[in-house]
């Protein structure tokens, strides 16, 4: 009888520990739409209408680390460098809730791809360091020509039954540089345009 009671008590204690541990994970929502920014912007000097020609499919994600490690992140604090130059000391987040999509009609805003919060394992309190990135036109950040990232910033994940902390409440705005068309590309486009024009002229005769 005593042994049965003892095992029952141990079982309850273990269950409470598991529940407590599960609730101790920090949670964030990869969302700057419901905070109305800060925004992702896109820049090609001298071309104010560039947003109209941007691809519609972007991948948004983030790197993170527990605590404040901003001083040890890479030497590309805001730009489009390879991840090895700016995500040092941060880990790529994976799993449910860790990717987002651009909101149609609002190219500077994003919402998480699924209905789940991103869970930051082992974070029971305090702040974490994060950096948000976006890319298009490639299979990964490093292989994409259109890419950019925020500076590293601090955010406090939600705990317990609180609503997940929205990334837009702490993320700084960032710019995705749009590369100038190459001279070779412009030349090829010019040749095609001339050929099309010549064909139209000859057809009109």
Residue 173 backbone phi and psi in degrees, to 5:
-60, 150
11 found inside a domain: no
Q: Report the percentage of the chain scoring pLDDT > 70.
A: 70
Triad 58, 40, 179: Cα angle to 5°:
70
Q: Are 50 and 178 in contact (CB under 8 A)?
A: yes
- Asked whether the predicted pLDDT for residue 55 surpasses 80, the reply is no
Q: What is the pLDDT of residues 73-129, one digit of tens each?
A: 998 988 899 999 999 999 999 999 999 999 988 989 999 999 999 999 999 999 999
Percentage of the chain modeled with pLDDT above 90: 59
Is 61 a domain residue?
yes
Total tally of structural domains belonging to the chain: 1
Report yes or no on 1 lying in a domain.
no
Q: Is residue 176 assigned to a domain? A: yes
Residue 33 inside a domain? The answer is: yes
In a domain, 147, yes or no: yes
Question: Does residue 6 fall inside a structural domain?
Answer: no
How many Å apart are CA 148 and CA 46, to the nearest integer?
Answer: 19
Give the model's pLDDT for residue 91.
96
- Domain containing 188 equals 25-195
| pTM of the predicted structure, to 2 decimals | 0.76
**Would 85 be classed as within a structural domain?**
yes
Cα atoms found within 13 Å of the Cα of residue 108, Cβ hemisphere only: 16
- Would you say 151 and 186 are in contact if contact means Cβ atoms under 8 Å apart? no
Distance from first CA to last CA of the chain, Å, rounded? 106
């Amino acid at each position: 009888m005593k042994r049965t009671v003892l095992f029952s008590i141990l079982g309850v204690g273990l269950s409470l520990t598991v529940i407590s541990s599960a609730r101790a994970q920090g949670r964030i929502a990869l969302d700057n739409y419901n905070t109305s920014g800060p925004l992702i912007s896109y820049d090609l000097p001298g071309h104010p209408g560039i947003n109209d020609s941007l691809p519609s499919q972007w991948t948004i994600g983030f790197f993170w680390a527990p605590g404040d490690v901003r001083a040890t992140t890479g030497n590309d604090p805001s730009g489009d460098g390879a991840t090895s130059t700016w995500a040092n000391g941060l880990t790529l987040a994976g799993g449910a809730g860790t990717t987002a999509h651009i909101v149609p009609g609002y190219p500077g805003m994003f919402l998480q791809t699924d209905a789940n919060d991103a869970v930051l394992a082992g974070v029971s309190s305090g702040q974490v360091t994060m950096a948000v990135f976006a890319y298009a036109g490639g299979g990964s950040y490093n292989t994409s020509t259109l890419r950019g990232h925020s500076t590293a910033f601090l955010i406090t994940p939600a705990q317990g039954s609180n609503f997940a902390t929205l990334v837009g409440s702490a993320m700084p705005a960032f710019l995705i540089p749009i590369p100038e068309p190459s001279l070779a590309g412009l030349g090829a486009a010019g040749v095609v345009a001339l050929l099309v024009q010549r064909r139209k002229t000859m057809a009109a005769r």
